[in-house]
Structure 1
Amino acid sequence: MAAVWAPVVGHLLLLALLPSTSSSHMVFDLGGHVYRTGEFHVTLLIGDPAKPYFLHVDTASNLTSLDCNKGSKVPHPVYRPAPNKLVPRKHLLCNALHQDVGEPEKPHKTVCNYEIHYLDGSWSHGVLIHDKFTFPSGSTKPDIAFGCGYNQGGSHETVTGVDGMLGLGRGSIDLVSQLKNNKIITKNVFAHCLSSKGGGYLSIGDENVFSSPANWVPMAPSTDRNHNYYSPGPATLHLDTKPIGTTPMEVIFDSGSTYTHLPEGPHAQLVAALKASLSKSLKEVRDPSRLHPCWKGPGGFKSLDDLKKEFKSVMSLKFHSGATMIIPPEKYIIVTGYGNACFGMLGRTDIGDMCIIGDITMQDQLVIYDNEQGRLGWRSSQCDKKPKSKSATFSRI
């Protein structure tokens, strides 16, 4: 669940900035794909007059942000904040931000600057600002605090085609907390559904996500106050019935990562076990996607359905809470534009004993983040079909 001080402090901080509106919940269409775009994004209208921006849905970032570097190659004209949109260094919002992401190495004297380091190895430097957001109802235009990034890079995975990040992490000024504190939604609950066909949807404040059974686990407490990740706790990884590694890994749900990341040791063991399970009709090849390993079948691979003919092994994460996440081949293998099947789990030396679940493994699952009850849930779902709800406001941007 969000940091314990967030609901109280967030309410006091944001009441002056954000107008109160009638409560509702919202469902947004998502664009993008694991391959080739490498991201899933929502379109939000920001500013006055409102302008559209593509924001990469990121559950491991506490701060929504736009790329404000005038030299950046982004889909829309680069956002340029007016001077009166800058949050002062001594404002309580700035203190809350630094509680979420940590103090910058060199704090600015007058404006609220920040430095953020993400799970995938990327980083961003910027300043905190506020501006109007126009939501699907059209009548709801709250003033939302967000980041204006002027220097960023260093990513292990290159995400292009977006203007910034939609921060949905466990913070005090993440977007969902701000919406609840201003009574735009009644519950700090959201869910995303990423389709293997591309696109999907993001639901904010909708209690209808609880109407069907799901695998529920308690949110594990964060071990780092500056990185309040969504974690279902420790788990052991299996390939079919074979355990991979001997030490349980701390699992993180990170929709900001395209692929799933494993510590180098378990990753190497998993790759070896996977190779041993494959038929000799598959030939290991190099692919321009730079993923490794990759295989070419006798007739090539044209779709995810073709994977099932050659890849039979099912992975699973068995959580200490008793829940299990099933990971079939289509959630750990991608089919590239060159007709190859490539392993979509990356080995890392810099993540300790963490297992970072990225978009590839979240595909075709409704993943629910219930900050009210402090729990996470997931269930299989047709993510290319938006839910039907009489009370939801749908985005048609």
Structure 2
Amino acid sequence: MPRLASFLVVLLPLLLSAVRAAAHSNGGFGFKATLRHVDANGGYTEAQLLARAVQRSRARVAALQSLATSLPANVITTARILVRASEGEYLMDMGIGTPPRYYSAILDTGSDLIWTQCAPCLLCVDQPTPYFDPTQSPTYVRLTCSSPMCNALYYPLCFQKVCVYQYFYGDSASTAGVLANETFTFGTNTTRVTVPSISFGCGSINSGALANSSGMVGFGRGSLSLVSQLGSPRFSYCLTSFLSPTPSRFYFGVYATLNSSNTSTSGPVQSTPFVVNPALPTMYFLNMTGISVGGDLLGIDPSVFAINDADGTGGVIIDSGTTITYLAQPAYDTVRAAFVSQIKLPLLNVTDASVLDTCFNWPPPPRQSVTLPEVVFHFDGADMVLPLPNYMYSDTSTGALCLAMAPSVDGSIIGNFQHQNFHVLYDLENSLLSFVPAPCNLT
């Protein structure tokens, strides 16, 4: 019997380890987290919140378009992730190291790299927490130049046999440092998980701004992204109303499902396949087939939404880091014309570039009743029927009613303003985006 007991003492940890590994590989791994808007608790007015978000979104779109048009010309530009570090919209907390030090990071579905600023910092920008100090964590390991994750970088560099990364975010922000492995902690108290050997960038030379965060966490489709490294290829979010102080919710792995008690959904779940753009494989492209306004399918040529096979430009991206939706110019012009013809209010002459440009004058109280047309985004196999707050913004200070969309010179981006109060699921294993209306402010 003592021999058996000793055997069990040795065997039990191995069995538990095997069970954990099996649960991880079978999709049993996951966590829940909250998302905070980067401008939450900033004391901004509604108009200021919108203006700041529009400004960030325009910079993000400009960076994406610059990247897409320059890709064939210079191999170094392939290292450029699609956004500036200052242009994210939602923050997620995560712990780095042993013991974990907690940081807020910009969640970005448009890039892959996970990174934070590290001490000693040669050139760093302000952040709300101290810089991560790798010398204080025994689980920190710098990666060699021959490591697979180093080779996954768009443009890996090598210095004294250590893997060095450099990422550019648009024109004015960048991060550079050592690529390393470290233990990360994710989730809330009830679903907190600790995962070893997550590859991340320990940045010692950084420029730009971080929008109240301490770095970025990429949820793109590349091997360096968190969703790829954790090996449970599904995540979802439920974004509260743009002007709501209530945090949004995020689900990963086993918790990322639209058929659970996560949210009280309404209506059927709809799904549409992701489309791979070889020129920009990190991004989540969709096959958009049309737009309806006021029940009328608009006469937009399908090629307006298509990816250009020659250079990868064009196409339609769903993106958590862009606020308003940007439509390729021909599509935007058609949508704008439909609104102008269907809304019986005077069109405002907007000259301020920081705000929306399709705005109507709604006279002061007692205001007349006005009928606003319904908007539907049509995708391959799915229709996203937008609630009124997801496409019209009412400026209470001026009475203006504005379409929360803008024109783009290349491609289209479905922004998070249109995701409000939808539970949106990214299923990478089946290459599907699914969504269903849900009251995201419910806890």
Q: Which amino acid aligns with 1:161?
A: N
CA distance in 2, matches of 1:347, 1:261: 5
213, 222, 229: which is aligned to 1:178? Answer: 229
CA distance in 2, matches of 1:67, 1:276: 51
Does residue 89 of the first structure (1) align with residue 148 of the second (2)?
no
**Other structure's SS at 1:275 match:** helix
Does residue 147 of the first structure (1) align with residue 201 of the second (2)?
yes
- Does the 8 Å contact 1:284/1:296 carry over to 2? no
**Other structure's SS at 2:287 match:** strand
CA distance in 1, matches of 2:299, 2:387: 16
CA distance in 2, matches of 1:264, 1:67: 38
- Does the 8 Å contact 1:244/1:270 carry over to 2? no
CA distance in 2, matches of 1:138, 1:383: 21
TM-score (norm 2): 0.66
Structure 1 residue 41 displacement after superposition: 1.6
**Other structure's SS at 1:273 match:** helix
**C-alpha offsets along residues 322-376 of structure 1, whole Å, 9 cap, x if unaligned?**
3211234321233457444443323222x3xx32111111111011011222211
**C-alpha offsets along residues 174-221 of structure 1, whole Å, 9 cap, x if unaligned?**
1122222xxxxxx42110111113521000012561427410122222
- Does the 8 Å contact 1:81/1:129 carry over to 2? no
- Which structure 2 segments of 5+ residues have no match? 1-19, 40-48, 54-88, 261-267, 306-314
Question: 2:414: which partner in 1?
Answer: 357
Question: 2:408: which partner in 1?
Answer: 348
Does residue 209 of the first structure (1) align with residue 257 of the second (2)?
yes
Distance 1:314 1:125, change over 3 A: same
**Other structure's SS at 2:194 match:** coil
Question: 2:31: which partner in 1?
Answer: 26
Distance 1:73 1:381, change over 3 A: same
70, 74, 77: which is aligned to 2:130? Answer: 77
Question: 2:290: which partner in 1?
Answer: 236
**C-alpha offsets along residues 19-45 of structure 1, whole Å, 9 cap, x if unaligned?**
969753211111117845742221112
CA RMSD of aligned residues (A): 3.5
TM-score (norm 1): 0.73
148, 163, 174: which is aligned to 1:124? Answer: 174
Counting matched residue pairs gives: 341
Question: 1:184: which partner in 2?
Answer: none
For 1:1-397, what aligned pairs fall within 5 Å after superposition? 23-32=28-37, 35=49, 38=53, 39-67=89-117, 70-82=123-135, 85-96=141-152, 98=153, 102-103=154-155, 107-109=157-159, 110-116=161-167, 124-127=174-177, 128-135=179-186, 136=188, 137=191, 140-149=194-203, 150-153=205-208, 160-180=211-231, 187-196=232-241, 197-198=244-245, 199-206=247-254, 209-211=257-259, 213-224=268-279, 226-240=280-294, 241-243=296-298, 245-246=300-301, 247-249=303-305, 250-280=315-345, 283-285=348-350, 289-299=354-364, 310=370, 312-319=372-379, 321-336=380-395, 338-339=397-398, 340-349=400-409, 351=410, 354-386=411-443
Q: Which amino acid aligns with 1:245?
A: I
Distance 1:159 1:46, change over 3 A: closer
**Other structure's SS at 1:140 match:** strand
- Does the 8 Å contact 1:58/1:168 carry over to 2? yes
**Other structure's SS at 1:132 match:** strand
**Other structure's SS at 2:113 match:** coil
Specify which structure has the bigger relative contact order, considering alpha-carbon pairs within 8 angstroms and separated by 6 or more residues: 1
